[in-house]
A and B are shown apart, each in its own frame.
Chain A
Amino acid sequence: QVQLQESGPGLVKPSQTLSLTCTVSGGSISSGRYYWSWIRQPAGKGLEWIGRIFTSGSTNYHPSLRSRVTMSVDTSKNQFSLKLSSVTAADTAVYYCARTIQRIVSSHYYYVMDVWGQGTTVTVSS
């Protein structure tokens, strides 16, 4: 059974870069069938999709974050990562990593986030 686990600093100073890693266990990150996604949730608020990366390295980012986001995959470590630069207090949130898979229904492809990490809290503060 695939499991995901986020890791990284819980406290980041304003203007610095937030760096998180998601470790995949119970399966290979490079099976070729999956995207790997990041989602965040400020305390008491809703979910925001940050972006996703395919094992080939191709990415899709939220337009509002595109200038500050970088995602990467390390297949040798079965990990994928998120970097968010120039952070402010508005970036304080619980960050989740998730596996994204395509489901086929009536010949149409649907992306679903079917396995999630437990989330890690990142606070931006001096």
Chain B
Amino acid sequence: DIQMTQSPSSLSASVGDRVTITCRASQNITTYLNWYHQKPGKAPKLLIYAASSLQSGVPSRFSGSGSGTDFTLTISSLQPEDFATYYCQQISSIPFTFGPGTKVDIK
């Protein structure tokens, strides 16, 4: 299985802050990477696919980059509705594994 790691595991930020979350794969996955966020008690929601393509309806303050083994999710200006846990997922090979998550909370 491809192992996914994320850093940091949690962070505290203020509304308006620029936030960056990193995801690393245990082997080369080119751009076969998706990002989701999840609010408490809710299902995950797709934000970014193919490492950098914005899902329809997702605000443009979200962006993704990277290829190979190292990826980044950036929120350019954090909004109140963005406080959630963020997960990366590799879809290069089965099983489609998720990272452990990064919890973004209010400073």
Contact = CB atoms under 8 A, between A and B. Distances in A.
Contacts of B98: 46-49
A21 B23 CA distance: 33
A63 B32 contact: no
B50 A103 contact: yes
Interface in A66-116: 96, 98, 103, 105, 108, 110-114, 116
A57 B25 CA distance: 30
Contact of A46 (B1, B43, B91, B101): B101
Contacts of B34: 110, 112-113
Nearest to B30: A108
B43 A110 contact: no
Interface in A34-71: 39, 46-49, 51, 60, 62-64
Nearest to B45: A116
Given A47-B44, A116-B44, A62 B95 contact: yes
Given A63-B1, A112-B34, A116-B44, A46 B50 contact: no
A110 B91 contact: yes
**In terms of DSSP, what is the predominant structure of the interface of chain A?**
strand
Contacts, number: 65
Contacts of B99: 46
Q: Please tell me the size bucket of the interface on B.
A: 20 to 34
A64 to B, nearest CB: 8
B75 interface: no
Contacts of A103: 49-50, 53
Given A51-B95, A63-B95, A117-B43, 15 more contacts: A46-B98, A47-B38, A62-B94, A63-B1, A96-B44, A103-B49, A105-B49, A110-B32, A110-B91, A111-B96, A112-B46, A112-B55, A114-B46, A118-B43, A119-B43
Q: Lowest 5 CB-CB distances: which A-B pairs, in order?
A: A116-B43, A105-B50, A62-B95, A47-B98, A49-B96
Interface of A: 39, 46-49, 51, 60, 62-64, 96, 98, 103, 105, 108, 110-114, 116-119
